Amino acid sequence: MIDIKFLRENPDVVKQNIKNKFQDEKLVLVDEVIELDVKNRQAMQNGDNLRAQRKSLSNEVGNLMKQGKKDEAEKIKAEVQKINEELVENEKLEAEYAESIKVRMMKIPNIIDPSVPIGKDDSENVEVQRFGEAVVPSYEIPHHADIIDRFNGLDKDSAGRTSGVGFYYLIGDVARLHEAMLAYARDYMIQNGFTYAIPPFMIRSNVVTGVMSFEEMDAMMYKIENEDLYLIGTSEHSMIGKFIDQIVKKDELPITMTSYSPCFRKEIGSHGLEERGLYRVHQFEKQEMIVICEPEDSMNWYEKMWKLTVDLFRSWNVPVRQLDCCSGDMADLKVKSCDVEAWSPRQQKFFEVGSCSTLGDAQARRLGIRVKGEKGNYFPHTLNNTVVATPRGLIAVIENNYNEDGSVTVPEVLRPYMGGLEKIVPVK
């Protein structure tokens, strides 16, 4: 949610930003907010005038009573009562205007950074750089579901019976590799100065609407029936929500945290053969990082954060690339965002394994997170980034460490988390 003062003073900038995100249907919201804002400020001014009149008349009542002029005082008391009634109606009007403004402001996208490429969807994202050589081996690499099946490591049939499409069982050494990646990612982030946390896996609706747009919420979140609770789609939701309605001391910034959680998402989509395996599922596990920092530091943190993901995947022998997300591929709260994509030697293309975003002060403004500064309170900036989300990350590790004999080499840094195991060997 942008600052209404900014919208009031720069309506053309806000409208152009909406056009840059190809959301022209939202242009009308800007004019509606401006009109409602004028009415709201008039109502607020009227309220201030009424309260000033009431105070003046109340003082007069006190003076008249001291002088024994009870009848005159009673007449003025009647005027005060009338003002009180007008104030009640005026306050209702203020509340209605404020709510109408808030509803519209929550739908207006955040102002994107000038460096964001303009484009309609993810097909127009821009590759920035690559890390590691994208190798295609001389031997065939099977579909990841077939590789894992040879280890007796995947059971989607049983998961279909217990939970439905989009769920899975990981078994044996494959499950161990999956957890080894998460454990290593946890320790890697701690070594890089982030505080480890395990957050709540359910959050209330006011936190959901504070951390994401309505469109994202509808597409992603599972709601708990008859409860004001949602299953998280990423631990960023809980981690940023941790600070709702809090005032953070300036000397506590930056706050840098890394969190583990399962994640739950409704979308599954239609992705051909990828639906056979683990690429797009309803439930996965994730190591996340979040930063709450001074506004002037957010872009520096943004650069640091996505590079941490790159270095992590390179330690697993996975070539990756970084793409700048275009305007149409960014959620409404984001100022700037990039994807980290891993190389798939089977498909001979890259696929997304992480996303890094800076959201400016949008989340802080929605959630009421403030910093106590020398010249008053202000909103900090918030950022989030995927350290690793698996099983998608698991696919990248398996494909890029697959051997011609059907085994998978365990990356050296993960071996201590797997009892020293160097290879996963097929059992069929």
pLDDT, position 202: 97
pLDDT, position 271: 47
Q: Which of 2-11, 170-179, 262-271, 275-284 has the lowest mean pLDDT?
A: 262-271
pLDDT, position 283: 92
Nearest to 332 by CA among 109, 23, 105, 103: 109
CATH 1.10.287.40 positions along the chain are 4-105
Question: Cα angle at 10 between 7 and 13, to 5 degrees?
Answer: 100
Query: What backbone phi and psi angles, to 5 degrees, belong to 285?
Result: -120, 155
Identify the helix (H) or strand (E) that includes residue 386.
Answer: strand 381-390
pLDDT, position 275: 65
Q: Please tell us whether the domain made up of 4-105 is placed in CATH 3.40.50.300.
A: no
Question: Is-contact 201 238, C-beta < 8 A?
Answer: yes
Question: Is-contact 117 125, C-beta < 8 A?
Answer: yes
Q: Which of 130-134, 159-163, 333-337 has the lowest mean pLDDT?
A: 159-163
Burial readout 299-308 (b: 16 or more C-beta within 10 A, e: otherwise):
bebbebbbeb
pTM: 0.89
Does position 23 have pLDDT exceeding 60, yes or no? yes
pLDDT, position 273: 37
Q: What is the mean pLDDT of residues 146-156?
A: 95
Does position 41 have pLDDT exceeding 80, yes or no? yes
CATH 3.30.930.10 positions along the chain are 122-424
pLDDT band at 267 (very low <50, low <70, confident <90, very high): low
| CA separation for the pair 283, 203 (Å, rounded) | 17
Q: What tens digit of pLDDT does each residue of 97-135 get? A: 999 999 999 999 999 999 999 999 999 999 999 999 999
Give the residue with greater pLDDT, 369 vs 1: 369
Nearest to 238 by CA among 230, 246, 247, 228: 230
Mean confidence (pLDDT) of the chain: 93
pLDDT, position 28: 97
Does position 270 have pLDDT exceeding 70, yes or no? no
pLDDT, position 323: 97
Does position 166 have pLDDT exceeding 60, yes or no? yes
| CATH superfamily placement of domain 122-424 | Bira Bifunctional Protein; Domain 2 (3.30.930.10)
Q: What tens digit of pLDDT does each residue of 243-258 get? A: 999 999 999 999 999 9
Nearest to 290 by CA among 341, 256, 337: 256
